[in-house]
Amino acid sequence: MFRSHTCGELKMADVNKDVTLAGWVQTVRKFGSITFVDLRDRYGITQLLFNESLNEVLDKNPLGREFVLQVTGTVSERSSKNANIATGDIEIAVNSFTILNKSITPPFTIQDDTDGGDELRMKYRFLDLRRNAIKKNLALRYAVGRSTRNYLHENNFMDIETPFLIKSTPEGARDFVVPSRMNAGQFYALPQSPQTFKQLLMVSGYDRYYQIVKCFRDEDLRADRQPEFTQIDCEMSFVEQEDILQMFEGLVRRIFKDVKDIDYTEVIERMTWMNAMWTYGNDKPDIRFGMKLCNLKFPSHTFPAQTDIADLINRADFKVFDEAETVVAIAVPGCANYTRKQTDELTEWVKRPQIGMKGLVFLKCNEDGTFKSSVDKFYTEDKLKAIAAAANAIAGDLVLIVAGAEEKTRKAASDLRMHMGTTLGLRRAEDFKLLWVLDFPLFEYAEEDNRWVARHHPFTSPKPSDIDTMISNDPSIHNPTEYLKHPYANIKANAYDMVLNGNEIGGGSIRIFQKELQQKMFAALGMSEEEQQHKFGFLLGAFEYGAPPHGGLAFGFDRLCAILGGSESIRDFIAFPKNNSGRDVMIDAPSTIDEKQFEELQIRLDLK
């Protein structure tokens, strides 16, 4: 045995015990003839005391940071204690030591507040992983995984592995492809999700399946997106939407309890997609704070159930509003005293290409009951008051108004709302609020191909009440400019997303389980019968042998961990992540391969 104890467990009760520890040298503090060494391992840090007699040996064998050291000694009470670490009451009076391995000087400090930048930390990830900050994140990830497995196991779910070398599918994200040597000229694809396999398992009767599984998508990356990521993938048979929502509310509550010791007992709010877009301009709203959208003007077809209040702003000779398709306001609490500089900064913020607005109208609701706006010359004080009232602004609020094309403006209003929420400190990392978004549209219109694409995926079932509409109508779009009038535009999906603090953490749907409806779906997406057979013949075939009604969902495991850990970026919740360009800078992948490998694959490289 290299050690009798870890570096995190010795306490006052262990005083006078003879122990052997092994770990890495965190710091060396020399005081003439005595030396303190902090020894670190996965469990903590223990202070070692090298006394006068050992110091001479130490001088001949000097220790450096990250040396691997084994020491034997006696646990003793410290004369001055350190309340900051768990073992701070004791130290080890070292009798003998062995340097198990040396280390060259690390390129950055192995500390909570390391001096290393992201790029360097990624290149030396094996050193970065020694840091507490990352260790804590990986421990949290492990805890989320354990909690998930326990809950699903207790609820009769069975973990079944599905293959990674599968078939490329046309819909959805770009596939990562793998050439087949034994089938020259043919390629596997890595799964974007185990979707069809878990549906086949339902056909096979494994009525509660789960897997914590890697998925692969060859798309551009973000702080919260990696080319390979992990999903908690679940599927259930003989269920309706409500059964699934309840089962996985239970899972999330269990995770909150196990991992964060939070009793999330409150009712999880539910909102239709239409309502989310109307109220927040966003299909994954952060509902921890207000600042709801006030729709001053909107195209009649987008929200048919809503009352038009455009008269409030129209025909005031203010061209921006008169000509805009959509005008949306938000009331920012307590910001009426914003200076010209601050409002100018907000204007610049919405004019950035990422937001793309032409400008920003603001209306200050002063504490004294007066109003001051950037459109004073177009609107009377009474009108301004009415607009402020419509936006639910009270004295002291700053009303921000954006105008333009529907989708862009709604998104800008949502982005502005989130921006102000962050600015005002209303988005605290340790406050958690869950939300279900329901009734997504089943289809989206793809202008470039003049056809429908599945908003979720092509296996999603329409709402039961919309099945008839789907079957009895021709999906083809004869008049592209009026696609919104096509019956398919209004079909709602039996799909649901779980949203946490403005992040989509999971999503799923009740699936189509009848062959005919699935074929209708494929046809609606512009797939010929031959294509359907070629790409999904196995699924259609399986549906002929008694497929049960089923549905499921998948959680984004990395993202869920990051949010629970209070981070926007998922990278530090993944042991070996990739950078923005999909590179692993530690192992330097991707990389070129040998000519011999190309020969075996019968592939010739001909880069454009």
Interacting residue ranges for RNA, rule: CB under 7 A: 27, 29-34, 36, 38, 47, 49, 52, 62, 64-65, 78-82, 84-85, 88, 91, 105, 107-109, 115-120, 122, 169, 171-174, 192-193, 195, 217, 219-220, 222-225, 352-354, 411, 453-458, 568-569, 571, 579-581, 583, 585
Terminal Cα-to-Cα distance of the chain (whole angstroms):
58
- C-beta closer to RNA: residue 52 or 468: 52
CB of 286 to RNA, least distance (A): 14
- Give the number of residues written for the chain: 608
Tell me whether the omega of the peptide bond preceding residue 548 falls within 30 degrees of 0, making it cis: no
Beta strands per DSSP E along 200-279: 208-216, 228-237, 269-272
If you write DSSP's letter for every residue of 305-331 in order, what string do you get?
TSPP-GGGTSSSS-HHHHH-SEEEEEE
CB of 222 to RNA, least distance (A): 4
With tokens 């009649």, the residue in question is: 300
- C-beta closer to RNA: residue 175 or 397: 175
Are the C-beta atoms of 115 and 102 separated by less than 8 Å? no
CB of 441 to RNA, least distance (A): 11
The alpha-helical segments, DSSP class H, found in 359-493 are 381-390, 406-423, 467-472
CB of 329 to RNA, least distance (A): 21
CB of 196 to RNA, least distance (A): 8
- C-beta closer to RNA: residue 223 or 429: 223
Closest CA to 88 of 26, 34, 5, 8: 8
HSE of 232, CA atoms in CB hemisphere, 13 A: 27
With tokens 């500089």, the residue in question is: 341
At 450, give phi and psi (nearest 5°). 45, 55
Tokens of 227: 């080319």
- C-beta closer to RNA: residue 391 or 500: 500
CB of 381 to RNA, least distance (A): 37
- C-beta closer to RNA: residue 466 or 497: 497
- C-beta closer to RNA: residue 82 or 343: 82
- C-beta closer to RNA: residue 49 or 426: 49
**Quick one: the chain helix, strand, coil %, rounded to 5?**
30, 25, 45
CB of 154 to RNA, least distance (A): 27
Sequence-separated (6 or more) residues with CB below 8 Å from residue 55:
33, 34, 35
- C-beta closer to RNA: residue 87 or 373: 87
Closest CA to 424 of 348, 332, 355, 350: 332
CB of 469 to RNA, least distance (A): 20
- C-beta closer to RNA: residue 254 or 550: 550
Q: What amino acid is encoded at 476 in this protein?
A: S
CB of 28 to RNA, least distance (A): 8
Q: CA angle 467-472-477, nearest 5°? A: 105
